[in-house]
Homo-oligomer: A and B are copies of this chain.
Amino acid sequence: MRDKTPIWKAIANALRDDLVQGRYVQGDKIPTEASLADRFGVNRHTVRHALSHLIEEGLLRSRRGSGVFVTAQPTEYPIGTRVRFHENLLAAGRIPDKKVLSVEVRQPSEGEKAALKGTERVCAYHGLSRADGQPIALFESVFPLDRLPGLDLAFQEVSSVTEALKRVGVTDFTRASTHLTAIMATATHALHLHISEGSPVLRTTNLNVDPEGTPIEYGRTYFASERVTLTV
């Protein structure tokens, strides 16, 4: 069971956990690069590599001569290569909530099959994301069941995508692409998002891949644009 994850990535994850769990809050100055290097027993450059990724993700911000600080914008929803719904909203100071609408196993559509690079059965996961009880986004994700056997069962126990994937052996994944466009709300959108039919909705289409680049999730999310501002 050799550890294949790079040291810098492990450090980035550890620090991200600290942020998510509120050990540092917005505006806080995190320890200096030197002291972090000391704490983790690595070179300062390795810490810098980790920090630069967290800065990329918008979680931190550095000021030369001063230090590295926590940046968390309220009610904003950051999009990046590494997106975790739960963590983003926590960072925004809101209480996240997810309602599972349905989990089903079915054949993929043509588009889904193409996006996932071929699979005969997919696990389709529909749900509603809320912040402080207010509906924010409607999402539907499909996962290639051929490559992720048992995922449908995992969803019966946990509602977190990250957690369910972990149970079938996917410990890490990144967003390969995100597409954005605006559409008019259908009746379904209107119903769940509590908006009126025809009002604008932000649709994001995204493909998540594992570290080897194999597609593991093809998802579409519909944001109630009157309640959300996406931050790039």
Contact = CB atoms under 8 A, between A and B. Distances in A.
A214 interface: no
Interface size class of A (residues with CB under 8 A): 20 to 34
Interface string A177-209: 111111110000000000000111110000000
How many chain copies does the complex carry? 2
A200 B182 contact: yes
A74 to B, nearest CB: 13
Contact of A181 (B56, B80, B178, B229): B229
Contacts of A181: 202, 225, 228-230
A231 B200 contact: no
A56, A201, A228, A232, most chain B CB atoms within 10 A: A232
B179 A230 contact: yes
A79 B231 CA distance: 11
Contact of A180 (B80, B179, B198, B232): B232
Contacts of A184: 199-200
Nearest to A183: B200
Contacts of A228: 181
A196 to B, nearest CB: 11
Nearest to A228: B181
Contacts of A225: 181-183
A79 B79 CA distance: 11
Nearest to A63: B213
Interface in A56-95: 56, 76, 79-80
A199 B201 CA distance: 11
Given A177-B231, A180-B202, A198-B198, 6 more contacts: A177-B232, A181-B228, A182-B182, A182-B202, A200-B201, A202-B202
Interface of A: 56, 76, 79-80, 177-184, 198-202, 225, 228-232
26 contacts: A56-B56, A76-B179, A79-B232, A80-B232, A177-B231, A178-B231, A178-B232, A179-B229, A179-B230, A179-B232, A180-B180, A180-B230, A180-B231, A180-B232, A181-B202, A181-B225, A181-B230, A182-B182, A182-B201, A182-B225, A183-B200, A183-B225, A198-B198, A200-B200, A200-B201, A202-B202
